[in-house]
Amino acid sequence: MHSSKPPRRKVAPANGDDSGDKLDQLLLSSAICNNEDLGPFIRKAFASGKPETLLHHLRQFARSKESEIEEVCKAHYQDFILAVDDLRSLLSDVDDLKSSLSDSNSKLQSVARPLLSSLDAFVETRNVSRNVNLAIESVHTCVELMEVCSRANRHLAGDNFYMALKCVDTLEREYLEKTPSTTLKRMLERKIPEIRSHIERKVSKEFGDWLVEIRVVSRNLGQLAIGQASAARQREEDLRIKQRQAEEQSRLSVRDCIYALEEEEDDEIAAGSGIGEDGYGNGGGIVGFDLTPLYRAYHIHQTLGLEERFKQYYYENRKLQLTSDFQVSSMTPFLESHQTFFAQIAGFFVVEDRVLRTGGGLILKMEVENLWDIAVSKMCSVLEDQFSRMQTANHLLLIKDYVSLLGVTLRRYGYPIDALLDVLSKHRDKYHELLLSDCRKQIAEALAADKFEQMLMKKEYEYSMNVLSFQIQTSDIVPAFPYVAPFSTTVPDCCRIVRSFIEDSVSFMSYGGQLEFYEIVKKYLDRLLTEVLDEALLKLINTSVSGVPQAMQMAANMTVFERACDFFFRHAAQLSGIPLRMVERSRRQFPLRKARDAAEETLSGLLKAKVDGFMLLIENVNWMADEPPQSGNEYVNEVIIYLEILVSTAQQILPTQVLKRVLQQVLSHISEKIVGALVSDSVKRFNVNAIIGFDVDIRLLEQFADNQASLFADGDADELKMALAESRQLVNLLLSNHPENFLNAVIRERSYNTLDHRKVVIVSEKLRDPSDRLFGTFGSRGARQNPKKKSLDTLIKRLKDVS
């Protein structure tokens, strides 16, 4: 056989005379010889419907190859004969070898049979040994397995779930696959999942109980935390009071100041929360702040491989609890439930802060921030709704104070509270409007109860409560008791209302995120004084003051109010933490100016009306008297007696400056009345003796003014006399020997600056010399004309020309 591929056979082309069958046979033979695919020939034969022709050609090709095979066999016959001879020779050798091997085998078996018997005994013994060892190992494994099962049962019975899970993990990892007992293996395969499910249920139940308990604990914890913040705030307030007292002492006397340093204890919620340094609650705190069930459940779920599921479960449950905490009962007024509402939220986030810091990733900071954002949004919404409904300033202040304490408490734990403070600031105007409304009612009640009588104080504590507490005393010396104050009960009552307003305003503005709020407090204090107190006093003066004693008491009250207003602004500055020197540096106008001016105008008006009654006696003046009265006219004596009585009474109540202003107005009014009488149409003419009588009257009034010099400061008595300037200048002009000097601008400005030239003309025309009476010219015919009369006539003529 040749390994090389036979050469491709070539078929000689047929003659042109050959038929188509012959050509097909040649092509088929050529394809078979060349090992080509015969598929086309077969398809062609069947397609033409002549498969017999194809079979005929194949048979012819096979017959043509038989002769070639025969030639090949003949060529290799000799080699085949030689190979057969070699095989026969080899067969003989094999038979010899077989006989030799059989003999050797017989000998080997005879010799090895005892050894084989011993070997069989050894193998059997070794198998028995192996079986025994395997049994011992199996028993030992079973014993260890049962010991682990026993420990797991003990831990389960003692609720030591973590150790029980460790035992279960050991059973599953080390004993489940190599347990020789199928019964034990089936038991383990069934019980291990059951134990884990049992532990998960138990831990979940404990965690559920903890969730229920922590709500009550959170409320108590929140109340404790806010209470500690309130105590800390109170200590700060006490320290500020001591600082203000020290500042006041330093203002009064530097040597009397006493300075002391005090230490403040830092209250921490954790001190009473039962939280240990390791982050696990020990349940021994004031409010039982125990996180052991939570951390235990978290640890167990970590061991069970359910950490992420437990985290999500914890977050969702706490979120639901927070949402339920937001429910505000419509059956209970918010004023009664707001402390519980905010304390619950405060305790919730105190707990979450502890869990965040010690929970080992149980809750993320982002999740706590999300919960806080939800809480802030809801609290702001609740505050907006409740504040919009409130119509009492005190209620709004109570809630604001508690919310600010909530903010202080949670800010210590890093929670942002700006949104809550913004809500409080947003309702600042409404609070003050309500506060102003309350004060308006209180002031109206206080003024309605006033009897316009000086206040009697029998004890020193009354003096301290009604005078010293508002710094309205005029002397640092404590008076003897019983003490009659120059003011009525209205003053301390209104001062208490204003002081309460200041304290409430500062209380609302304090701890609201705004450090400097004095200007705001001052703005609302201005409104209280100008829009409420001033208007109320003005209304009282216009409607209830009908007599001189009442008007005098109101004028005295207004003077005391002026000192009280200085105290109000100092008190507001002190409470706002502003140095008093800054307030004293920026002095303000008296905010009760309208009421003060109205009180003085009312008093002076009543006094003028009283004086007018005496001035009616001016009608009794003898205008054409033959001799001037030596002691003044009747009316002036009555007026001076009344004024002296008035001054003796008023100086006990009215301050000197008020008394001076009132007397000035009264004297000015008397002066106007005298001038008015001279100008009046009811007086047709008068003589010099009548003018001399008025000169005596004015000198008596000027003497009265001089007598008051002891009551007033230097120069005040002269100011009182200036109130009589118009009547004095008119009388001086009429008694002057040179009345034409009135026409001189320099002299007129110096000596007659208050006179109206029209009045001068009228009065001058009425003044006639006694020789000018009717027909008097006949007896004096040829006599020389009086130079004063001539000067007066010139004055009248010139003044008429000017007018």
Q: Quick one: 306 and 226 in the same domain?
A: yes
| Residue with tokens 């202080």, as numbered in its chain | 408
Q: Quick one: 762 and 718 in the same domain?
A: yes
Domain final residue, candidates 104, 134, 158? 158
In a domain, 22, yes or no: no
In a domain, 571, yes or no: yes
Take residue 254 and report the two structure tokens written for it: 């530097």
Among the listed residues 157, 291, 153, 284, the one whose alpha carbon sits nearest the alpha carbon of residue 218: 291
Kindly indicate the confidence band of residue 91, based on its pLDDT and cuts at 50, 70 and 90.
confident
Q: State mean pLDDT over 275-284.
A: 39
Interatomic CA distance for residues 43 and 690, integer angstroms: 173
In a domain, 186, yes or no: no
Interatomic CA distance for residues 657 and 70, integer angstroms: 168
In a domain, 612, yes or no: no
DSSP state of 617: G
Judged against a pLDDT cut of 50, whether residue 267 lies above it is answered with no
| pLDDT for residue 123 | 92
Judged against a pLDDT cut of 50, whether residue 277 lies above it is answered with no
- Which segments of 680-786 does DSSP mark as H helices, in order? 688-707, 716-722, 725-735, 745-751, 757-766, 776-779
**586 in Cβ contact with 526 (< 8 Å):** no
Interatomic CA distance for residues 567 and 564, integer angstroms: 5
SS3 content of the chain, % helix, strand, coil (to 5): 75, 0, 25
List, for residues 121-152, the tens digit of each pLDDT value. Answer: 899 999 999 889 888 887 887 887 788 888 87
Q: Which residue has the higher pLDDT, 655 or 176?
A: 655
Domain final residue, candidates 137, 158, 179? 158
Interatomic CA distance for residues 443 and 675, integer angstroms: 44
- Provide the residue count of the chain: 803
Kindly indicate the confidence band of residue 266, based on its pLDDT and cuts at 50, 70 and 90.
very low
b/e burial code for range 527-566 (CB count within 10 A of at least 16 → b): ebbeebbbbbbbebbeeebeebbbbbbbbbbbbbbbebbb
**318 in Cβ contact with 352 (< 8 Å):** yes
Domain final residue, candidates 394, 415, 436? 415
Interatomic CA distance for residues 504 and 502, integer angstroms: 5
Q: Quick one: 404 and 442 in the same domain?
A: no
| Amino acid (one-letter) located at 640 | I
List, for residues 382-441, the tens digit of each pLDDT value. Answer: 888 888 888 888 888 888 888 888 888 888 888 888 888 888 888 888 888 888 888 999
In a domain, 420, yes or no: no
Cis omega (within 30 of 0) for bond into 770: no
Q: 145-152 — which CB contacts under 8 Å span 24+ positions?
A: 145/171, 145/175, 145/179, 145/184, 145/188, 148/175, 152/195
The per-residue DSSP string of 81-140 comes to: HHHHHHHHHHHHHHHHHHHHHHHHHHHHHHHHHHHHHHHHHHHHHHHHHHHHHHHHHHHH
Judged against a pLDDT cut of 50, whether residue 263 lies above it is answered with no
CA R_g for the chain = 64
Q: State mean pLDDT over 364-372.
A: 90
Bridge partner list, 483? 457
Judged against a pLDDT cut of 60, whether residue 275 lies above it is answered with no
Interatomic CA distance for residues 688 and 789, integer angstroms: 12
Q: Quick one: 531 and 490 in the same domain?
A: yes
Take residue 11 and report the two structure tokens written for it: 């078929």
| pLDDT for residue 257 | 42
Kindly indicate the confidence band of residue 761, based on its pLDDT and cuts at 50, 70 and 90.
confident
Q: Quick one: 329 and 404 in the same domain?
A: yes
DSSP state of 797: H
Q: Quick one: 437 and 411 in the same domain?
A: no
| pLDDT for residue 47 | 80
Q: Quick one: 504 and 387 in the same domain?
A: no
- Name the percent of the chain lying above pLDDT 70: 85
List, for residues 662-681, the tens digit of each pLDDT value. Answer: 888 888 888 888 888 888 88
Q: Quick one: 379 and 445 in the same domain?
A: no
Q: Tell me which residue range forms the domain holding 441.
A: 428-596
Interatomic CA distance for residues 166 and 37, integer angstroms: 75
Judged against a pLDDT cut of 80, whether residue 170 lies above it is answered with no
List, for residues 491-522, the tens digit of each pLDDT value. Answer: 899 999 999 988 888 888 876 555 677 888 88
| pLDDT for residue 279 | 36
The per-residue DSSP string of 321-365 comes to: HHHHHTPPPSSS-HHHHHHHHHHHHHHHHHHHHHHHHHSSSSS-H
Q: Which residue has the higher pLDDT, 222 or 791?
A: 222
Q: State mean pLDDT over 671-692.
A: 84
In a domain, 12, yes or no: no
Take residue 327 and report the two structure tokens written for it: 């429910």
What CATH number is attached to the domain comprising 457?
1.10.357.30
| Residue with tokens 């109170």, as numbered in its chain | 234
Q: Quick one: 322 and 411 in the same domain?
A: yes
Backbone angles phi, psi at 686, to 5 degrees: -155, 165
Judged against a pLDDT cut of 80, whether residue 598 lies above it is answered with yes
**CA distances, 405 to each of 142, 227, 368, 753 (Å):** 65, 8, 21, 70
In a domain, 703, yes or no: yes
Burial of 505 (0-12, 13-18, 19+ CB in 10 A): buried
Q: Quick one: 332 and 456 in the same domain?
A: no
Q: State mean pLDDT over 251-265.
A: 44
| pLDDT for residue 549 | 85
What CATH number is attached to the domain comprising 734?
1.20.58
| pLDDT for residue 514 | 58
Interatomic CA distance for residues 428 and 506, integer angstroms: 11
| pLDDT for residue 250 | 62
**653 in Cβ contact with 552 (< 8 Å):** yes
For residue 570, give the 3-state DSSP assignment: helix
| pLDDT for residue 127 | 92
Q: Quick one: 645 and 533 in the same domain?
A: no
Backbone angles phi, psi at 456, to 5 degrees: -100, 130
List, for residues 36-57, the tens digit of each pLDDT value. Answer: 887 887 888 888 877 888 788 8
HEC string of 252-307 equals: HCHHHCCCCCCCCCCCCHHHHCCECCCCCECCCCCCCCCCHHHHHHHHHHHHCCCH
Query: What is the H or E stretch that residue 396 is in?
Result: helix 393-411
Structural domains of the chain, count: 4
Q: State mean pLDDT over 589-614.
A: 86
| pLDDT for residue 249 | 62
Judged against a pLDDT cut of 80, whether residue 247 lies above it is answered with no
Interatomic CA distance for residues 552 and 607, integer angstroms: 10
Kindly indicate the confidence band of residue 715, based on its pLDDT and cuts at 50, 70 and 90.
low
In a domain, 180, yes or no: no
Q: Quick one: 690 and 795 in the same domain?
A: yes
**655 in Cβ contact with 559 (< 8 Å):** yes
Bridge partner list, 456? 484
| Amino acid (one-letter) located at 555 | A
HEC string of 61-96 equals: HHHHHHHHHHHHHHHHHHHHHHHHHHHHHHHHHHHH
Three-point CA angle 705, 707, 709, nearest 5° = 85
| Residue with tokens 């002009």, as numbered in its chain | 733
Judged against a pLDDT cut of 80, whether residue 260 lies above it is answered with no
